[in-house]
Amino acid sequence: MKISGEKQVKFLTSLLKFAFSIQRHLTPIIEVNNKHLESTIYATWHGHQCCIFGLKEKSKTNVLISRSIDGQIIADAVKILGLKSVRGSKGKKGSVEATMQLIEKLKEKEDIVITVDGPSGPRGIVKKGVITVAKLSGSPIVPMIWYSPDISLISFPSWDKFLYPLGYTRLINIYGEPIYVEKDASPEEEENVRLQVENSFKELEKKAHEAWEKVWKGRLWVRNNEK
């Protein structure tokens, strides 16, 4: 759907804000293996971008969002979750500006979130941007996805197979081990790290169901809601 016109933008922004405000109360999310390191680069797939619901320290988390009209709608909506945004664009100048903003946030001991196959794919391929940010900042890349076998977690027929919970959904955010990029890494070493990040996502996807079952059988949902 092509978005145009101020009224349409306002309507969609209000609709998304409403959806986020309701859904965050219907989506208990338990974090699995999040080490909560200082100045973390959370990397996720475009289709899993709403796993930001499960991040605990939202007030110090900055989400990279495109400068498109769609991006503006999302940037306005994530504020309701307590998150901040950094705006980026496809152009070289916009990309450099966004990279520098992200690095500055990391220097300020804040976290960032990057959809590593966004904004338009191909799906499941990690782009080099996250490697550049990690190399220049020295901060760790931590892959994350969310998972639930509940039928209320819907996969939409979009290029990224966007996942969104409709109604009450028991979820986990599952995190990979931190991955670092050396400041003097060669192009070949950078490519090796990029592939390492991709492989980390594959491992998370393989063990997500088992991790979810452990959380559920341990009744962590109940203990989490009692806090």
- 3 versus 152: which is more confidently predicted? 152
The predicted pLDDT at position 226 comes to: 40
pTM for the model stands at 0.90
Tens digits of residue pLDDT in 213-222:
999 877 655 5
Cα dihedral angle (30, 35, 38, 40), rounded to 10 degrees? -70
The predicted pLDDT at position 140 comes to: 99
Do residues 87 and 98 make contact, with C-beta atoms less than 8 angstroms apart? yes
The rounded distance, in Å, linking the Cα atoms of 100 and 86 is 10
Is the peptide bond between 119 and the residue preceding it cis, with omega within 30 degrees of 0? yes
The predicted pLDDT at position 5 comes to: 60
Tens digits of residue pLDDT in 33-58:
999 999 999 999 999 999 999 999 99
Output the CA torsion sign for 196, 161, 31, 222: negative
